[in-house]
Amino acid sequence: MDTFEGRHSVLSSAVPIEFWIVLPVKNPGWAHDILKNLSWGISAAGHKSMFVFDHGTFEARKKVTEAIKKKHQAGEPLVVIDLFLRLNDVGLPSGHETRHFSIIGDSPIHHFNRLRKSSPSTVLGIPDRRYEEIYKVVGLKHRCVFMPYSGCDPIPNALPMGERDIDLLFTGTIGMTPYSPAWNKLVEGLPRLVKEAVNEALDVTLNEDTAAFMALINALEKRGVDWHTENGKTLFQAHKAVETYAETLRRIEILTAMEGLNLHFMGDVSYDVSKQICGFTKFHKFTDFENMLELVKRTKLLINICPKLAGGAHTRIWNGIAHGCVNATTRSSFLDEEFEDGVDLLNLPDDSLDLNGRLSELLRDNEKLDDMVCNAKKKYTAKHLWRHRAADIAREMIQPKSSVPPDLMF
């Protein structure tokens, strides 16, 4: 096990608790960015923060859990923070009292088996407040706290809008077109009533503030299908279809509406989709996280199309603000509470018919864009940096369990 202390580490005499940040070596750059900033934030809050490297093998994770066991046996207070409950691969020590905070970045259905095996005493940070309902419905007993994704400190000397050469940038994936063979394969073999439920849930996910899994089980129940007794693989596949379909439809709809504009696309895209937008789009191959951020630094409007985080915020929202972009984003109830449409960011309309005109008008007004960046940055730096989330996690995890308020929300 290799460890090193987070920068600016200060061990608080009042609360001498170590925080171990499990850093998977093979994780993508965005995950390293989250964990790095969490470690620095915990150190800045006055606690000792250490990185614990996880090389992804059973043996490496076993070493981590053995080290945790030794800390427990020595009576030394410890908090372990990891992404997606990765330590469940080998299990934390039986009967351990180590406090464990895990960040679950997706719907709990994506990590159901890990969650089912994990200790109910584990505290889970969830990026979409709608997911708490899913935990309750499926019977998981973990304590959940809303922990929307956040970001790093704004970069110094970000380019003003007049010096940015990319008007619109989308970073992400569109792996299929509607009703293509890849699309149809997602529901291949599902029972007829489940396929019907998928179609209804898709409509609800796109048009209402409902998480895909809740939309699916509601649609199944309307058809007399007891999802509790449904084959697990069937349920997971149906949910995957709803989420993927919703994301695909919304991304294709919005990007094709940008015809004639200066659009850049970084990521993987299916051949059929690329044909639809190639006439006005410059494509970039995604190589790594830092390479992506270099494009963001040159961008005026960063496009966020993410229906599955409509109760939270994707990391690209914060990356955009930190690097001087204006966000053009699908609606989020959380973002609506924190930012003002047309003042701090641009909410993409549900009907994309007038989208092209709105974007064209805004892109011609560099002064307006600079003002929006300035407005968003003030709100972002006040409460939405990873160091703010880190301080929240530290406060949560050092309290006696009995004193933790049940309605705590970061």
> Helix 192-207 crosses helix 232-256 at what angle (to 10 degrees)?
40
- pLDDT in tens for each of the 410 residues of the chain? 333 233 333 333 344 689 999 888 877 788 888 888 899 999 988 899 998 888 878 888 888 888 888 888 888 888 999 888 877 766 666 656 678 899 998 899 998 888 888 887 789 999 999 999 999 999 998 889 999 999 999 999 999 999 999 999 999 999 999 999 999 999 999 999 999 999 999 999 999 999 999 999 999 999 999 998 888 899 999 999 999 999 999 999 999 999 999 999 999 999 999 999 999 999 999 999 999 999 999 999 999 999 999 999 999 999 999 999 999 999 999 999 999 999 999 999 888 888 999 999 999 999 999 999 999 999 999 999 999 999 999 988 887 654 444 443 33
CA–CA distance, 325 with 34 (Å, rounded to integer): 20
* DSSP character string of 116-166: HHS-TT-EEEESBTTHHHHHHHTT---EEEE----BPPPPTTPPPGGG--E
pLDDT of residue 5: 31
SS3 95: coil
pLDDT of residue 8: 32
SS3 201: helix
pLDDT of residue 401: 55
pLDDT of residue 65: 81
Q: Which residues pair with 342 in a beta bridge?
A: none
Contact 18, 76 (CB under 8 A): yes
Q: Locate 158 and state its tokens.
A: 């970000």
